[in-house]
Structure formats: C-alpha cells, structure tokens
Amino acid sequence: MKHPYLTNDHEIFRRSLRKFLEKEAYPFYDQWEEERMIPRSFWEKMGEQGYLCPDIDEEYGGSEVDWGFAVVINEELERVGSGLVGVGLHNDIVVPYITAYGTDEQKKRWLPKCTTGEIITAIAMTEPGTGSDLANIQTTAILDGDHYILNGQKTFITNGIQSDLIVVACKTDPKANPKHKGVSLLVVERDTPGFSRGRKLNKVGLHCQDTAELIFEDCRVPKENLLGEEGKGFLYLMEKLQQERLLVAIAAQTASEVMLKQTIEYVKSREAFGKPVSKFQNTQFKIVEMATEIEMGRAFLDQLIAEHIEGKDVVTKVSMAKWKLTDSARKIAAECMQLHGGYGYMEEYEIARRFRDIPVASIYAGTNEIMKTIIAKNLGL
C-alpha cells in the first residue's frame, strides 16, 4: 500500500539523518543529560547538514522541501531522546511564525541564521500565573516612540537558556475587550536591554533540554520587531498551535514505538523460572495490547499528517491525536518499565529515562484536558 505522505526520497533522507545521529548524537546523549544541556556545536552540525528548517525558501537558506521531511527529522530525533524536542520547536514551531507573519526585512535578517544554527529560537507564552489561558497573559508591551516597553515574566520556556531569538506573546492593549484582541507577538533578540534569564529549571525529565524563566524589565524592543499586526497575536497563536500539537503527537507515537521495541528485546533475553520472560502468557498479552494500540495510533497519525500537509482543517483530529497518543505513551512507558522488572528502575536502562520524559507531553502545547474541551466544542457539545 502506498504510504500517505512518505516517498523514497524521504526514506533516503531518513537513512542519511540516522547515520548522522549515530555519529553526532547517540554516543553523547547520556553526557548531555548529565550536563543538562545540548551543546550549540550540535545545532551547528545539524545546520551544516541541512537538518534545520529544511522547508523554508531557498533564498533564506532552506531547501523548500515538503513537511514530510520535518516529520522524519522529528521522529529520528525522538528515537535518540525526548530531550531533543527543542530542535523540533525551532524548526517547526517558532520559525514558522517568522515565515508566515514576518516582513521581508525580518525574514532576511533572521531566517538564514536559523538554518545554520547560529540563531536558536524560542517562543514565550506561558507565565507564572497563566498557562493554557493565553487571553489572560499579563506581560505588557506599550509603544513608546520607536520602541515597545516590554514588562513581564515567562516560564517553562523551551530553549530558554540558549535562545538568541524569542517570540514573546504580550499585551500591546491591556484594556482590549475581548481580552484576546490585545495580544501581539514581539520578537526579542538576545542582547536586548532589559531582557534577562531567570532560573534554568530543574525538571523531572527532559534533562538535556534547557528550560528557563525569562524576565523583561522595561525591555526596549524596536517596533520593527513586531511580528505581523498588533492585536492579532492570539489569532496567530491559535493558527500555529495545531502544528505544535501535531509534533507532540508524533513524538509520543515514536517514543511508544521505541519503548515497545526495547521491551520486546529485553523480555526475550531475560529469563525467569527457567525460560525467557517473553514466554509467559501475561507478558505476551501485555506486549500484544501495546503493539495493537501503537499500530492503530500510527495509522491514525499518518493519515492525519497527510491531511495536514494537504492544508486541510484538522483541528479536531490534531486535538484527538495529541491527547490520545500522549496518554497512550504514558501508559506504555509504565507497562514497559514493569516488564523490565527491577532493572527498569535502573538508570542504565533507557526505559527509566523514557518513563521520566514522557509525562510532560500530556501537559505542554495545551493540556490534554484543553484538547478534550476543543474536541467537545467542535462536536457541537
């Protein structure tokens, strides 16, 4: 059967990327976890090989390839480890805001360096007191002559420490009614006066992924750094959050596939009561249940990705995929750890890391409860 979106070119690309990661990522991943950081040199190597922002226009350093290549990149990075999520965020979440809403001048200024790894990007939505309720963000940006004066705090920001360019959701009209019409997007550059970084956050999992607090105190942002139009930031966020949620679903599905494969290998090699653990009926039933769940998830996800690439309205299905596949991955992580027995709780076995890393997928990019609310609304409930 013909694959919904992958071609032979995608598979050749996958083999090349996997070979690159086997040399530049797999051998160092445990070290990155211990150091709580992915080195910039890895980003630069990704850029050299064309693995950063490959879908953008050639004039800005991209290859103008279809989004199927982005899917391959995100799957292969997840196979290495969930801590590489920041690369996907850069490629397929933040940079698309610039390509979609940026001016020609902004694109020429920022995009070429985004493709080389010289610029690492982040997006700052969440605040200490505001998570999924983006219309109620408190960060303000008031125009003063040629600059916006930005004040506020952001937290849980992926790539927060290393980022050179941050798309910040803020209120340019704090008195707007309804509130969401006061939201705009400003691009803040690394050395902007009044911008500082708070704590590098110590997370349960995703240890090598730098997550931080960002602080803006009378931060003077040139008005030329407004992304799109004033007051349309909330609309832009809603448009782009769908691809972000799809990326989370892709990562969760890939993680589930990796965990099952590793667990099957383990139960075949581990013996108990004189025979491999894989020969016990309980083990077989657990493996079969997970394999079936994963196979059905993959079928739904692949068709959904194909529809997204075609430009179809997939808001409801993306919300379904995001909550279901992340919820499934969390359960699979627990089952796989159980089948590893005591060794599953040891750090030298990858399932321990996967068990730590996967739960946050049901929280970020909009909690699974928010996903169910969206689905219910779109079903007319």
Neighbouring CB atoms inside 10 A of 4's CB total 16
292 with 343: CB under 8 angstroms? no
Q: Which residues contact 232 (CB under 8 A, 6 or more apart)?
A: 184
What Å distances lie between residue 121 and 32, 52, 124, 187, 361, CA to CA? 19, 11, 10, 10, 20
Distance between CA atoms of residues 201 and 276, nearest Å? 42
Distance between CA atoms of residues 230 and 180, nearest Å? 11
One DSSP character per residue, 70-97 reads HHHHHHHHHHH-GGGHHHHHIIIIIHHH
Distance between CA atoms of residues 86 and 77, nearest Å? 10
| Three-state SS at 180 | helix
Distance between CA atoms of residues 346 and 356, nearest Å? 12
Q: Which of 76, 230, 244, 350 is catalytic?
A: 244
What stretches of the chain adopt beta strand conformation (E)? 121-124, 140-144, 147-158, 165-171, 183-189, 195-200, 211-222, 226-227, 271-272, 275-276
Helices marked H in 179-280 — which ranges? Answer: 233-269
Neighbouring CB atoms inside 10 A of 118's CB total 14
Catalytic-residue membership of 244: yes
**Nearest alpha carbon to residue 106 among 232, 231, 225, 233:** 225
Instruction: Return the active site residues.
Output: 244
